[in-house]
Amino acid sequence: MSQATAIAAALRELERMFGERVATGEAVCRQHAHTLTWLPAQPPDGVVWPETTDEVAAIVTVAGQHGVPLIPFGAGTSLEGHVNAPLGGISVDLSRMARVVCVSPADLDCTVEAGVTRAMLNAHLRDTGLFFPVDPGAADATLGGMAATRASGTTTVRYGTMRDNVISLKAVMADGSVMTTGGRARKSSAGYDLTRLLVGSEGTLGIITELTLKLHALPARVIATAAPFSSIAGACEATIEAGASGIALQRIELLDTAMIRAVNAHAKLELQDTPHLFVEIAGGAASVEETLAAFQEIALSNGALRFDWAEERHAKRRLWQARHDAYPAVGTTWPGKTTVVSDVAVPLSALAQCVTETVADIEASRLTAPIVGHVGDGNFHVIPVFDCADANEVAAVRAFLDRLVRRALSLGGTCTGEHGIGQGKAGYLVEELGEPAMAAMRAIKGALDPRGLLNPGKILTARRR
């Protein structure tokens, strides 16, 4: 039986089971395949919307019977081509699995389905005095997708990544079985850490359908500032020193001069035309004042020019919305141009070297490439802007991004701090991890998904068996 025939048969069977929750139209399939890399969109042959874990298991069973690839789909950010379907197949859109199963204020945890978004969960928690802190910047990011990509964001410097905030999870495995990786205890030494195995697996080992997450108390007081610096090196050094001093910042974000210009134009701000640190401090009244004083001393010694601290809710929201809108701000500031986005992360002590060498590389290459980053944990993003019809510009940007990754790796860093591997960065994994680690990953994939049907072509090269 040909692949096309097998996919058609699987879709017919799913249509009998799910009716209008199966779609095969060109438009909806294209909506479920895109990327912000060089790779073209590779749409699935159909899309199905399950509403329960049992329905996901039924979908996986049908796909297995016909040998059809499945591509899990959350909100579809797909920065590195995570939702593409290089071998065809069926997209499993989990957006209808959007129930908050339970919240335990006493235990500071909750259980949610994979399609619940960060914004939905925090709205649900509004009257409890609790919140879920991991903030990748997109309010509509699904918690299942965030776990699958091991997401982080602006608050990682204080609260950690998804790896640190997922207590346990439920996933449908390639054979259709449903695996639960643990209970609600905050620690366990029982067996292999299957939770961490699935977190960051990008849907290649199982389809996450439910998560138990850590919650945190809302801080009593929160203040924020956008502090201009005389140099980007000074802003990085202030970040390094603050981290080494143990100052408990809630957020610390770097925006270079090009990004500040884009943010000013997009958000109608009037920030000084120089590199900035966007900083947020949270806690009790006394601790906030103590942290503020300590941070200002460090920042001033590294070239901070002034501080305009905001405590009023609207002012803080406007500031952080401008930061979260950095990527669309680049698009509107340079209309008609193509943008790609890449992220790397390095040990905090290497941050200033990596950023300043990257800035020098941008200038020497005569590129436009704004920088923004969650620098409190050594992670930053570069967004080159170029004419995709100009072969020389395309070649220059591709070469620059390759140098960016290799620079980070040479400093003991990683090719991706939070975007994930997907298709776009699979080629760097062996350089970062080494062949023994790659062999171990292939062995795990082969054991859990021996036919290679779960999100093929992501992290590891697609190989049908």
Note whether 262 and 286 are same-domain residues.
yes
Q: How many CB atoms lie within 10 A of CB 269?
A: 13
Q: Structure tokens of 64? A: 């297995």
Q: Which domain holds residue 312?
A: 221-411
Query: What is the longest distance spanned by two Cα atoms in the chain?
Result: 70
Collapsing DSSP to helix, strand or coil, 30 comes out as helix
- Is 288 in the same domain as 403? yes
CA distance 152 to 260: 22
User: Does 233 share its domain with 312?
Assistant: yes
CB count in 10 Å sphere of residue 23: 18
What is the C-alpha separation between 219 and 386, in angstroms, rounded? 42
Strand, coil or helix: what is 331?
helix
Are residues 252 and 363 located together in one domain of the fold? yes
63 burial type by CB count under 10 A (0-12 exposed, 13-18 middle, 19+ buried): buried
Same domain, 292 and 376: yes
pLDDT confidence of residue 38:
77
- Final residue belonging to a domain, choices 37, 71, 95: 95
Domain assignment of residue 463, yes or no: no
Identity of the residue numbered 74: G
Q: Is residue 28 part of a domain?
A: yes
CA distances (Å), 132 to each of 25, 98, 286, in order?
Answer: 36, 16, 24
Residue 243 domain-assigned (yes or no)? yes
Unique residue bearing structure tokens 């609260």: 159
> Is there a single domain that holds both residue 367 and residue 314?
yes
168 within domain boundaries = yes
Q: Do 270 and 305 fall into the same domain?
A: yes
Final residue of a structural domain among 60, 95, 130: 95
DSSP assignment letter at 203: T
Cβ 215 vs Cβ 257: under 8 Å: no
Number of domains present in the structure of the chain: 3
Rounded to whole angstroms, the Cα distance separating 374 from 377 reads: 6
Q: Which strands, in side-by-side order, build the sheet including 46-48?
A: 22-23, 46-48, 90-93, 70-73
Residue 154: inside a domain, yes or no?
yes
Residues in the chain with pLDDT values less than 50: 464-465
Give residue-wise pLDDT tens across range 349-378. Answer: 999 999 999 999 999 999 999 999 999 999
